[in-house]
Amino acid sequence: MAGDDNGGRLGAEFFTPGTSSFTEFLAAHRPELLSTRRILPDGVRAAPDRVPHGTTVLALAFRDGVLIAGDRRATMGNLIAQRDLEKVHPADDHTAVAFAGTVGLALDMVKLYQVELAHFEKIEGTAMTLNAKARRLAGMIRQNLGQAMQGLAVVPLLTGYDASAPEGERGRIFSFDVAGGLYEKRDFHAEGSGSPYARGALKKLFRKGMDRRAAALAALQALWDAADDDSATGGPDINRRIFPIVSVITEDGFERLPEPETAELSREMAEQRSARPDGPTAAP
């Protein structure tokens, strides 16, 4: 962002006291760099079969924190645009964001959100609270409302470990609507085209106090059910060795489950499904 007329030196805007929000700084000085800036003329809508869309992501609380997971498929209309898309990303050490919706804008929004949190911590000398992080992401989504109304919606799912919350409630989940509405969810939630089926699966499989392995299996089972009924959601692709992304956030921070672990759990689930295609029943 250094001005071309300054010989590569930082411009005066970098030395002027102002907001600790990086997005507000960009909006004031270089709005063209914002991914939430409208990219289509007024009255024009994006063709739904020309823009890749991500589909199903989910989260659930477990004994040590919160788990967040997503399938890997992106679609353009009835076509599979990508089989190995990564929809789950760390936002900082104790926060993660996953997305459904327009892939290009979503990836830019995730990157901007990561910078937003890091910038705030550098300027203020302390990290945002989890509630503040959720509100800041809601504001960024609200800035994208014009594009959402043109068919380029981004719907994130935010999770975090809140050390200030009571014991057993430190894994928290936040969902959003396209207008930036913010909603905290209890226990579990899912977003995207396969979310009704994923939520239905989690409703029968979730139980409080699950360990990490049980939570990961529940997430994978839910994504399998979503893929079973929603063509835009991709289940584990064992032949291509493409598996859902599963990550956890605990007191120790963000951790993506290693692929061998996810692969082992996916194969175990596939064997169970070969005997019972409709999946496990609710625990008594």
Task: List the chain pLDDT tens, one digit each, 284 residues.
Answer: 444 455 566 555 554 555 667 666 556 556 655 665 556 566 656 666 677 888 899 999 999 999 999 999 999 988 999 999 999 999 999 999 999 999 999 999 999 999 999 989 988 899 999 999 999 999 999 888 888 888 888 999 999 999 999 998 999 999 999 999 999 999 999 999 999 999 999 999 999 999 999 999 999 999 999 999 999 999 999 999 999 999 999 999 999 999 999 999 999 999 999 888 888 887 76
What pLDDT score does 279 carry?
A: 87
How far apart (Å, rounded) are the C-alpha atoms in residues 141 and 155? 8
pTM of the shown model: 0.85
Choose, from 16, 19, 23, 55, the residue flagged as catalytic: 55
What pLDDT score does 261 carry?
A: 97
What pLDDT score does 172 carry?
A: 98
What pLDDT score does 2 carry?
A: 46
How far apart (Å, rounded) are the C-alpha atoms in residues 90 and 274? 34
Residue 55 annotated to the active site = yes
Q: How far is CA 131 from the centre of its chain?
A: 16
Q: Where are the alpha helices (DSSP H) in 206-280?
A: 212-229, 259-275
Question: Which amino acid is residue 132, in one-letter code?
Answer: A
Q: What are phi and psi of 39, to 5 degrees?
A: -110, -5
Q: Residue 7 region, left (φ>0) first, then alpha (ψ -120 to 50), else beta? A: left
User: CA distances (Å), 27 to each of 30, 35, 101, 179, 236, in order?
Assistant: 6, 11, 23, 19, 41
Q: Among residues 243, 221, 219, 254, which one has the least CA distance to residue 64?
A: 254
- Sheet strand arrangement including 188-191: 188-191, 57-62, 65-70, 245-250, 253-256
